[in-house]
Amino acid sequence: MITTTKGLMDETLLEKREGFIDNDNEYTTWVEYWHDGELVHRSAHVRLKKMPNFIGGEAASF
């Protein structure tokens, strides 16, 4: 069963779409479930790799 905007739905009734992002900063996976052309579920999982320095991910260098 999948949580959706319409409540719990049987996965067999849904179209599943998946994708990912893989770069120096992150490895991200996402999954979507569609029902009759409508997006009813989307989850994402971001695995941070290493933060770019310019946004403060590396707190400081002395």
Partner 1 sequence: MCTSFMGQLLTATHNFGTAPTRVLATADTFKAALYLTTATVDANTTVYSVTNEVSGTNYTAGGVTISGSPAWNVPTATNSSATAGVAFTTPTAPITYGTSLNPVSLSTAFNAVLIYNSTQADKAVSVHTFGSQTITAGTFTLTMPTNNTTNALLRLSTT
Site residues, partner 1 (CB under 8 A): 3-5, 21, 25-26, 28, 30-32, 39-52, 54-62
DSSP string of 11-46?
GGGSEEEEEEEESSSEEEEEEEEEETTEEEEEEEEE
CA 14 to chain CA centroid, Å, is: 18
> Is the CB of 13 or the CB of 21 nearer to partner 1?
21
Minimum distance from CB of 11 to partner 1 (Å)? 13
Minimum distance from CB of 37 to partner 1 (Å)? 14
Minimum distance from CB of 15 to partner 1 (Å)? 14
